[in-house]
Amino acid sequence: MNIPVVNLADFNSNNPELKKNFVAELGKAFEETGFVAVKNHSIPDELIEDLYKHVEAFFKLPVATKKSYEIPGLAGQRGYTSFGQEHAKGFDAPDLKEFFQFGQEVTDGDSVQTEYPENIVVKEVAAFTPTLLQAYRAFEESGNALLRAISLYLGLDEHYFDKHVHNGNSILRAIYYPPITSEPKSAIRAEQHEDINLITLLVGASADGLEILSKQDTWVPVTSLPEQIVVNVGDMLQRLTNNKLKSTTHRVVNPPQEKWGSPRFSIPYFLHPKSTMSLACLDSCIDSEHPKGYNDYTAGEYLDERLREIGLKK
């Protein structure tokens, strides 16, 4: 499936017509597909290349070394989470992955800093942590621009999200799906799910496998060009817009048997607001044909609920 492609440079330009067209194209793609490919996203190719190189080096470390970065009590929100710890909401079988998470670094004295655990510094791969921070900032900038476009599409002030996502609780997750060494019990590496956050930005993946559930209720492989990032709507944005923008169901499937020996790496950036942001449905998204579909939650309350549902928080 060739998902819709938009050019973020158009939105960031000084051309009102290009900006207007970008907003319309992005909104249409999110309403109809839920996924969009973004080119000219301002995340340097060299940074992406370095990121994957250092991520691969980390996951090649001995299991005991990686486990030393698995910190009890953090619900996987910082550092390493070992293989089989997370499962999709509504499923008991664990996903066939391990991952490392890097979060917000508050540098301006914002009191929200007290809510966030410190990031975990990996000593064995010296460039790993600094590269994660550099990538985090690049994703943050691109993600905030996309949220401004979404604001305009929803008829809100362009900067509606700015105060909510400044020093927000976003997460950069490096995922490793190990090679398959024996007949798997399921064809699924990561069971079908929807993301928790506002939007997700995914920069490439080292192998195919991502599929989305289409409006026709069929699974469709998603591919994008190397210079593009894939962006999808998460549950928080779905709640806020009362289903106008739908969180897209997706999964990761196993490769054909001849490729079982190849690992898969994937690095999504989950854009979260601060915990205090209200996810109450926007008044402009509620009418007689679309009655309010969700109870009022804050982003923090919703995240806490979902982390328990997927097995990361007890």
Least confident of 81-90, 96-105, 294-303: 81-90
Largest CA distance in the chain: 58
**pLDDT confidence of residue 2:** 66
Name the residue with higher pLDDT: 88 or 95: 95
Residue 62 has pLDDT above 80, yes or no: yes
Average pLDDT value for the chain:
89
Report the distance separating Cα 149 and Cα 110, nearest Å: 26
Domain around 57: 5-309
**Per residue in 266-279, pLDDT tens?**
899 999 999 999 99
What pTM was computed for the model? 0.92
**pLDDT confidence of residue 254:** 79
- DSSP letter at 54 equals H
pLDDT confidence bin for 162, thresholds 50/70/90: very high
Note whether residue 165 is domain-resident. yes
Name the residue with higher pLDDT: 26 or 228: 26
Note whether residue 20 is domain-resident. yes
CA distances from 289 to 2, 243, 256, 292, 300 (A): 32, 12, 45, 10, 29
The number of folded domains in the chain is 1
Note whether residue 111 is domain-resident. yes
Structure tokens at 156: 């809100």
**pLDDT confidence of residue 216:** 79
Among the listed residues 304, 96, 66, 301, the one whose alpha carbon sits nearest the alpha carbon of residue 182: 96
What is the separation of C-alpha 294 from the centre of its chain, rounded to a whole number of angstroms?
Answer: 22
**pLDDT confidence of residue 206:** 47
How many percent of the chain have pLDDT more than 90? 61
Q: Torsion angle, CA of 89/92/94/99, rounded to 10 degrees? A: 30
Note whether residue 90 is domain-resident. yes
Report the distance separating Cα 152 and Cα 204, nearest Å: 27
**Per residue in 109-139, pLDDT tens?**
999 999 999 999 999 999 999 999 999 999 9
Residue 41 has pLDDT above 50, yes or no: yes
Residue 259 has pLDDT above 60, yes or no: yes
Report the distance separating Cα 285 and Cα 155, nearest Å: 10
For residue 243, what is the domain's CATH number? 2.60.120.330
Residue 36 has pLDDT above 80, yes or no: yes
Q: What is the mean pLDDT of residues 42-60?
A: 93
Cite the beta strand spans of 206-253 per DSSP E: 210-213, 219-221, 229-233, 250-253
Note whether residue 314 is domain-resident. no
Beta partners for 79? 101
Residue 42 has pLDDT above 90, yes or no: no
Residue 99 has pLDDT above 70, yes or no: yes
